[in-house]
Amino acid sequence: MANIKAPECLDLCVTTGDFEAAAKEKLSEKSWVYASSSAASGLSHQSNLDDWSRINFRPRIMRKVNTLDTSRNVLGKKSKLPFFITAMGTLGSAHPGAEPSLVQGATRKGINAVISTATSKSLETIMQAHIDEQQKVNNRSPTRLDFQLYVPPDRKKAKELIQRVKAAGYHSLWITVDSSTQGKRTADRYLQEREKLEQGGREMVREAAAENDFGPAFGGRPTAGYLHPGLTWEDLSWISEEWGGPVVLKGIQSVEDVKLAVQYGMQGVLLSNHGGRQIHSAPSALMTLLEIRTYYPEAFEKLEVFVDGGLRDGADVLKALCLGATAVGVGRPYFYALAAYGTEGVEKCTEILTEELEICMKMLGVSSLDQLHPDMINASPLLNDMWRPGSFKAGNLRAHL
């Protein structure tokens, strides 16, 4: 892939990993660093990637799988596929078509997408791109756009943004709850310091989203008035009231907080460590999913559980679904696909994941997603490393010595 010019080799992308090399070839250094960087030494990001391989399937043979049903009910609406494009900021750094190009590809393929507050284009422009594409396919696409909310510290501005999202027609609100501050993105910090030295020690002004009043400055440092360190569980009341529709909490990383999400009446949680870009040494979404399955299995009856982070193969979608997840979010592969090939890359990435999903369903011995259950996987390697209540009590500690 590295020696083939990206615009000429879309057909040679046979795994989602192939988009990464093609994107690196096309992106500027600043955009590449922004997309690929993670917190501190990268442990959180690496665990996202590694943990998918620590779960194995237990296939059943000689099952009737000549027809497949990959659909899923997600927040009250039928979804064609059990994976979606998770929220990603400043896609204008990846491709001049930015978010509208992303949703055009998503709409053509019938896949849902979560649109970030940190967009390069206005949220209305993005929704209009979806509406226009729907008209081209005679409104046959099941694609739905949801909105990922960074809650502004100014409540008046927050309500203004929520009302704009509602008026534009987004289906559900995904509140980011893992960003009281911004993680230390090491590679981006190195780049910033190098730029500053090249400018004679002057601080570089980060590029902001030109068409989005709520968009942050582009880069790895926080922007004043953007993140909300004072956000609490009690704020969910007025946010939910203002929104009036399904609410998902994005960035849950412990079973205790899933219990609180149920207590506060949320419709869903997205288990995520922000692509490994926030807290150093965070658990992978799969590890948190195992915590819920082990210590609070009734959660799956009380709200919908989503996961994202590190997924690169459609077969891995099934691993999360076996453990009880409603659907799985995919991020960087779509960023890279958009960067290298635009809308066609988004379509191709969806085709790859869909084919892998269908192949694995057949080989696993299921013809519909409702046939999946925990006994179809072996998660022992992850379970061995999972947190256990009371692990550091004196008696338990002595038992381990």
- As annotated, the active-site residues are 274
Contact by Cβ (8 Å): 273, 48 = yes
Distance CA 394, CA 96 (A): 58
Q: Binding-site residues, please?
A: 34, 87-89, 116, 148, 150, 176, 185, 250, 272, 274, 277, 308-312, 331-332
Contact by Cβ (8 Å): 328, 307 = yes
DSSP one-letter code for 254: S
Distance CA 172, CA 17 (A): 30
The total number of residues shown for the chain amounts to 401
Q: Whose structure tokens read 């690496």? A: 46
Amino acid (1-letter code) at residue 115: I
DSSP string, 64-125: --SS-B--EEETTEEESSSEEE---S-GGGT-TTHHHHHHHHHHHHT--EEEESS-SS-HHH
Which residues, other chains included, contact 347 with Cβ-Cβ below 8 Å and sequence gap of 6+? 105, 108, 109
Contact by Cβ (8 Å): 189, 182 = no
Q: How far apart are the first and last CA of the chain?
A: 50
Q: Binding-site residues for glyoxylate, please?
A: 34, 150, 185, 274, 277
DSSP string, 141-169: ----EEEEE---SSHHHHHHHHHHHHHHT
